[in-house]
Structure 1
Amino acid sequence: MNEQTGLLPDAAQSEKIARPIAPSLEKRRLRSFAVMMVIDAALLHLAFASASLIYLGVWASANNMLAAQTLLPVFFTIALYNGSYGGKALGDWIFASKRALTALLVSTALINFLAFYTKSNAEFSRVSVTLGLILSAIAIVAFRRVLMIFIDRFWNGRTTNELVIDDGGPSFATERGETIAASDYALDPTSHDPFMFDRLGKLLQNQDKVVVSTPRERREHWAFLLKSAGVHGEIVSQPAHDLGAMGVHHYDAQDRTTLIVSNGPLKLRSRISKRLFDTAIVGAALLVLSPLLLLVAMLIKLEDGGPVFFVQRRMGRGNTFFNMFKFRSMKVDKNDAEGARSTGREDDRITRIGAFIRKTSIDELPQLINVLKGDMSIVGPRPHALGSRANNKFFWEVDAQYWRRHCLKPGLTGLAQVRGHRGATEKESDLTDRLQSDLEYIAGWSLRRDIEIVFKTLLVLRHDNAY
C-alpha cells in the first residue's frame, strides 16, 4: 500500500490508458435510426401517392394520403418496440426487413380494425390502399438492402464495437472488433485494486460486446468483473451455474460457444429517457438555484480566501474515475483528497459555512455540473471516495459486491439516501445497508422510481446523519 495516499500502488499503471480504445458508435446508430425513420415516412407517402396515380390516375389523392398519415404513427410505434430500429437491424438487412414488414402488417390490421368499427373504411379505395401497402413493403425492403450496402462500403460494416480480451483461454477471433491481451494492461480479475478497475473500465467504455477467453479457474472472476462493468459480456465456455449465465451464444464460423454473463442494466430507450430526465432537472435546478449558488460561493471565499470548490476523484460508471465537484466545506490545509477519514460530529476540519452547507446538503449542489457533463445522474448509487473505509476496511474488502454498484452512473441522490443511509461509515453495516439499497435500485430501475426518489429527497435534505 502507498503510505502517502493510503491506496493500493497502481496509480502509475492506470495512466497507461488515458482514453477509451474505441470511439463511441452510439451517436452513429442514433443518427442511422433517425434517418431510417425519416426515409421510411417518405417512402410510405411516396408509395401511397404512386398507388393513387397508378389506380386512380390522380397523384396523391386526399384519401390515399390520409390513409398513409393515419398508418404512419401506428407503424412507428410498433416498429420502435419490435426492433425495426434496433442495433441488429443495422447489421442484418433480412432481419431488419422482416421486422419492418411485421410492423407494417400489424399496423395495417389495427387501422383496418378501427376503420371497420367506425364505418370509415368505405371511404377508401381498397385496391388503391392495398397497392400502396404493397409498394410500401417493396420500398422499405429495398431501402434496407441499400442501407446495408452503404454501411458495408463507408463504415466497413461496423455499427457496434466488439472487444475480445485474451487472458490465456481458448483462441477466439473477432471479424470487425479488436483483440487485446489482459497481460498488456495488467488486468487481473482476482484483484480488488480500484486502479485496475479504472483501467478495465476505460477499455470497456464504448464497447457493445466484450468476450473474454480465460482459463477455467479465472472465469468466475471475469464474470464478476463484467457484471460490475455494466456491459454485455460473454465468456468462452463454462458451466452456466458457476458464472450466473444469462444465455448462450454459438459462433458457427469458429465452432465456439460463449456464455452471456452480463448485460448493461439499461437499454437504449431507458438510457435516453434517464438522460432527458437528468437534463431537464439540471436545467431547471441551475436556473432556480443560481442565486443560492453564487451566495454560497461568495461566503466560502470570504471566510478564508480559499478555493470555492473541492474536487475529488470518485469511482463512476464502469468502475472508472471521474472528478466530482462539491462546495469546499473543510479548511484548505485539512482537505482530505482521498477521503481516508470519514467526517464526524464536531469535526475540527469543517469551516463555519461548511458546517451549515453540509447539514443542509448544499455542499452537494455543484454536482449538478457533473450531471450536465454526463459523469453523474440525478438518481443513482452515491459515488464514494477511494479511501473510504468501514470498520477500517476498504469498502470492497467489506463486500466484493461493492463493485457491481458502478454499472450505472452515480447519482446526486439515491435509494439508500432517502432510506436514511447517510453520514459516516463507522460500522460494516453502514456500508452493507447502502450497498443493498443500491443493488436493489439497479435491479428494479424505472423512470417512475427516479421521480419518486427525487421527491423523497426533498424531504430529507436536512438529516441528522449529514455532517
Structure 2
Amino acid sequence: MSLTLQLKNSPADQIADSGVVTRPLAFMRGKLADRADHARTLSPVLVSGSIRCAELLMSTILGLAIAHLYVKETTVIGDPAYLFATTLVGTATILVFGLLDLYSLRALSASIKSLPAAMLGWTTAFATLIAAIFFLKIGEEISRVWLAVWFVAGAAAIMTGRLVAGSYVRNAANSGRLYQRVAIYGAGPLTENFIKDLEADSHSIVRIAGIYDDRKDARAPHQIAGYPRVGGLNDLITMSRTKQLDLVVVSLPLAAEDRLSSVAGRLSVLPADVKMPARATDLRFSPRTYSHVGSVAMIDLFDKPIADWDYVSKWLFDKVIGTLALIALAPLMLLVALAVKLDSRGPVFFRQKRYGFNNELIEVYKFRSMYVDACDATASKLVTKNDPRVTRVGAFLRKSSLDELPQLINVVKGNLSLVGPRPHALQAKAAGHLYDEVVDGYFARHKVKPGITGWAQINGWRGETDTEEQITKRIEHDLYYIENWSVFLDLYILLKTPFALLNTERAY
C-alpha cells in the first residue's frame, strides 16, 4: 500500500500518481499514517496515566468495600488501620507496576503476556502491607479474612481490568488513534538507520507520515528504507497544517551545523515535538540526556507546549471558568447587545476569521463596534484614534474591551482559550507589513490556542500595533507565555486583566 499525504500538487501526489509502492515498516503491518483529519488522537501519556489512576482507585476502593461488607462496621471507612492498609496497597501497587514497566503501551497491549508480572506486582504490594502490619504491631486491628478476600478479589479485578485495558489499547492503535505520527526531514544514511532501529521494535507506536529533503535527486534518493521522499521543507510545513503531527525528526548529522540550525528554526513554529536521532553525533551523553521514540534514543530540540496532562488541566480550566464566566456575564452581555442594536442598524455580533491553533482559521465573535458598511472583516486597516468607522457605542466598547465578551462563546466551543496569545486578523499589518513579515518565527505563537487575554495584554501591549516595535514586543511576550505556561500563570493573568483594561492609551 502506498504512502499518500494528500498535498495538493505536491511531490507526494506525483509519487502516488506514478504508482510507486512503498514497503511498509515491519512494525506498521500495512497500517499507514494517513490519519483522517477529524480523528482525535490519544496521548500515550494520558492513556497510561489514566489506567494508573484507575488501578489505584480500584484496588483502594475494593479493599474498603470488602472491609465494610465483611467487618460490618459502619465506621470502617473512617478506621485509621483500614484506611492505612488500603492506601498503602493501592500506592504500592502502582509503584511496583511502574517499576515492572506495566504501564507502557507495549505491556498494556500485550495484556495476556503481562498478567504474570501484574500478579507479581500485586503480591509484592500485599507483602509490603503484611510487613508493615508486622512491624507496626497492628495485626489485631485488621481482619485476616478480609486480607485474604481482598487479595483474591483484587487479583481477579486487576486481571479483568488489564484484559479490558489491553483490548482498548489495541483497538485504539488499530483505528489509528493511538500512535505517534512522525515526519522525517533528511534523506540520508542517518534516516535509513533510524528507520531500521524502529523496525527492530515490534511494539513501536510510530507511524511514518513522510520523508522530506530539499536536496537535488543526485544527493537525496527517491526512496529511503522503502519509503519515498515526498517533498522538501515547505511541503513538510504545509502538510503539518492539514495533518496532525506528533513528532518531527530532523535526521541530519550534527556536523551540518548551518543546515541543521536553519531547518530546526523553520520547524520550531510547529505544534509538535522536534527531535534528532542520537546517532546524529558520535558524542555520547548521559542516559538522562536522551528521550526515546520507541526504543530509539533521541536528542530533544523543541518540545510541544501544553501537552498531555497539561493539556487536560488547561482544557478543564477553560471549560469550567469559561462556562461560569459566560453565565455570570450574560446579563451584562444582554445590555451591551441592546445598546449596539439601538445605536446603529445591523447585527449585534461581528464575526471575523482569525488565525487559531496551528494556523487554522477560526471564526471569532465580537460585539459589532463599527458601522455595517465600514466593517473590515480582514482588518486590512487597523482602527485608529477617532476612527470614523467606529460607532458611538462601539468606541466605548473597544476602550473597555466589552466588545470581546462574546469570545467566551468561542472558549466554550473550544476554539479559543481564556488565556493565550491574542488571535490576529488575517491581514493585520504593522508599518504596512503583515505581522509574519515583520517578526521571524511569528507563527510560533500559534503552537497553542489563542486566548481572550494574555501575557502581552497585561504587560502593556494591548490595543493597536501599528509599529514594528509594538508587534515585536507583543510576540516576545506571547512566546514567553508559551514557554512558561502553568495553570497558576493563567489564573494570574486573568486576575490582572481587569486592571490592565484601565490602560486605554492604545485601545481605540
- TM-score, normalised relative to structure 1: 0.73
2:271 to 223, 230, 246: 230
C-alpha separation in 2, matches of 1:418 and 1:101: 54
Tell me if the contact between 1:71 and 1:108 (Cα under 8 Å) persists in the aligned partners: no
Aligned-pair Cα RMSD in Å:
4.8
Secondary structure of the residue aligned to 1:400 is coil
Query: Are the aligned partners of 2:398 and 2:507 in contact in 1 as well (CA < 8 Å)?
Result: yes
Query: What residue number does 1:92 align with?
Result: 107
Offset at 1:283?
1.7
Q: What percent of counterpart residues are identical?
A: 31
| Alignment check: 8 A CA contact 1:379 1:414 kept | yes
SS of 1:26 mapped into structure 2: coil
Listed one character per residue, the Cα deviations across residues 157-180 of structure 1 (whole Å, up to 9, x for unaligned) are 866232233556234478763524
- Give the conservation status (yes or no) of the 8 Å contact 1:167–1:181: yes
Going from structure 1 to structure 2, the CA distance change for 1:310 and 1:399 (only over 3 Å counts) comes to same
| Matches of 1:322 and 1:187, distance apart in 2 | 28
**Deviating more after overlay: 354-363 vs 222-231:** 222-231
Change (3 A) 1:178 1:301: farther
1:326 matched residue in structure 2: 366
Listed one character per residue, the Cα deviations across residues 106-141 of structure 1 (whole Å, up to 9, x for unaligned) are: 898699879977x75541257964885587468636
1:235-277 Cα shifts (integer Å, max 9, x gaps): 4564599xxxx7454766xxx7654333222243222222222
* Contact 1:75-1:104 at 8 Å conserved across structures: no
The one-letter amino acid of 2:381's match is: R
- Conserved? CA contact 1:79–1:99, under 8 Å: no
| Aligned partners of 2:268 and 2:274 also within 8 Å | yes
Residue of 282, 302, 305 corresponding to 1:265: 305
Q: Within the alignment, does 1:346 sit opposite 2:386 as a pair?
A: yes
- Corresponding residue for 1:25? 41
Query: 1:296-329: per-residue Cα shift (whole Å, max 9, x none)?
Result: 2222233332222222222222232212111121
Of 158, 165, 185, 1:140 maps to 158
Is 1:367 matched up with 2:407?
yes
Structure 1 position 451, deviation (Å):
1.2
Equivalent residue for 1:6?
none
Q: 1:68 offset after TM fit, Å?
A: 6.5
Q: Distance in 1 between matches of 2:134 and 2:431?
A: 69
What amino acid maps onto 2:104 in structure 1? A
Residue 355 of structure 1 deviates from its aligned partner by 0.3
Q: Is the partner of 1:340 in helix, strand or coil?
A: coil
Q: Superposition pairs for residues 44-443 of structure 1, below 5 Å?
A: 60-61=70-71, 70-72=84-86, 89-93=104-108, 120=138, 122-125=140-143, 129=147, 132=150, 136=154, 140=158, 143-144=161-162, 147-148=165-166, 151-152=169-170, 155-156=173-174, 160-165=178-183, 169=187, 170-171=191-192, 172=195, 177-180=207-210, 189=233, 200-204=240-244, 207-211=245-249, 219-235=260-276, 238=280, 247-249=290-292, 258-443=298-483
Gaps of 5+ in 2: 1-7, 14-34, 214-227, 284-288
| One-letter code aligned to 1:461 | L
Aligned length in residues:
433
Contact map agreement 1:229 1:317 (CA 8 A) in 2:
no
Q: Secondary structure at the match of 1:451?
A: helix
Give the Cα separation in 1 of the matches to 2:336 and 2:119.
55
Q: What is the deviation of 1:392? A: 2.8
**Cα distance, 1:280 vs. partner?**
2.0
**Cα distance 1:272–1:101, how it changes in 2: closer, same or farther (>3 A)?**
farther
1:23–1:210 Cα change, 3 Å? farther
Contact 1:198 1:321 in 2 (8 A): no
Gaps of 5+ in 1: 1-11, 53-57
CA distance in 1, matches of 2:429, 2:475: 14
CA contact (8 A) 2:52 2:94 kept: no
Contact 1:312-1:323 at 8 Å conserved across structures: yes
Amino acid at match of 1:449: L
Per mean C-alpha deviation after superposition, the further-off stretch among 149-158 and 292-301 is 149-158
Could you tell me whether the CA contact under 8 Å between 2:85 and 2:129 is conserved in 1?
Answer: no
In the TM superposition, residue 359 of structure 1 has moved relative to its aligned partner by 0.3
Question: What CA distance in whole angstroms lies between the structure 2 residues aligned with 1:434 and 1:382?
Answer: 9
Q: Is the 8 A contact 2:48 2:103 kept in 1?
A: no
Distance verdict in 2 for CA 1:446–1:46, change over 3 Å: closer
In the TM superposition, what whole-angstrom CA distance separates every residue of 1:369-419 from its partner, at most 9, and x where no partner exists?
Answer: 111111111111111122222233332233323222222211111111111
